[in-house]
Amino acid sequence: CCEGFEIDCRKKLKSLNKMSDKQNAQKSAKIAAGAVVCVESEIRGEVTIGARTVVHPKARIIAEAGPIVIGEGNLIEEQALIINSYPENIAPDSEGVEPKTMTIGINNVFEVGCMSQAMKIGDNNVIESKADLGRNMILTSGCIIGACCQVNTCEVIPENTVIFGSGCQRRVQTERPQPQTLQLDFLMKILPNYHHMKKTVKTTSAVTPAKN
């Protein structure tokens, strides 16, 4: 009966593990095939990363207060921080707070050292180095937030806007910035030569836990 007990225990442990795996799987990153995500990057929480997106080492994507969905063809460089955090006046443990999803479109560039908390980012935007986006911003398409510009107003930035300078001056450009296809192709070839990659998820099969 001891053996039976043991086998029972083992079966229970296995099923428990499977359940916890499934629960854990929902809370870890879903990286689509074709995306290049370095192991040294920190991805916490429920993050979905689209195909052809490159995440450099030391980039941080943190989904605290809700999931983050990142589209295709994005370039997230070193020390960039994309964080879905709780608003300041709400404590993390208070109940009744619905998790809001942060969506990021396609062909965006998050340059080195930038920080983005904007809940909705469209396509073809460029957030330059050390720029700081507040939580209440919404970027449409083709916007360029200049280097070291801190913007945390509560507004929707119209298309093709350029924010630059120490006074965060604005102007509208006539054409959107070009998608960085050349750079993305180059990085997708070169980065795997020097870094280990996080495992991607095949879209057809069941969810498997990604290696962190």
Partner 1 sequence: MASLLQPDRVLYLVHGEKKIRSPLSTLYFCRYCSELRSLECVSHEVDSHYCPSCLENMPSAEAKLKKNRKRICNQLNENFRCANCFDCPCCMHTLSTRATNIPAPLPDDPSKTTMKKAYYLACGFCRWTSRDVGMADKSVASGGWQEPDNPHTQRINKLIEYYQQLAQREKLERDRKKLARRRPYMPLAFSQHTIHVVEKYGLGTRLQRQRPGAPITSLAGLSLKEGEDQKEINIEPAQALDEVEPLPEDCYTRPINLPEVTSLRQRLLQPDFQPAGASQLHPKHKHLLIKRSLRCRKCEHNLSKPEFNPTSIKFKIQLVAVSYIPEVRIMSIPNLRFQKECQVLLTLTNPVENITHVTLVGCEEGDPEDINSTAKVMVPTKELVLAGKDAAADYDELAEPQDFQDDPDVVAFRKSNKIGFFIKVVPQREEDGDVTVSFKIRHDFRNLAAPIRPSEEGDAPTEAIWLTHHVELSLGPIIA
Query: Contact residues for partner 1 (CB under 8 A)?
Result: 144, 146, 161-162, 164-165, 169-175, 177
Please tell me the distance from the alpha carbon of residue 145 to that of residue 128, in angstroms, as a whole number: 6
Distance of closest approach, residue 205 Cβ to partner 1, in angstroms: 42
Q: How far is the CB of 78 from partner 1 (least distance, A)?
A: 21
50 vs 142, which CB is nearer to partner 1? 142
Q: How far is the CB of 26 from partner 1 (least distance, A)?
A: 40
CA distances from 88 to 43, 85, 110, 117 (A): 22, 9, 24, 12
Determine contact, residues 45/25, Cβ cutoff 8 Å: no
Tokens of 158: 């119209």
Nearer to partner 1, 158 or 192 (CB): 158
Q: Which residue has the tokens 């991607």?
A: 200
136: how many CB neighbours lie within 10 A of its CB? 14
Beta bridge partners of 110: 76, 127
The minimum distance between CB 85 and partner 1, in angstroms, equals 29
Q: Which is nearer to partner 1, 12 or 171 (CB)?
A: 171
Indicate the residue among 173 and 212 with the shorter CB distance to partner 1: 173
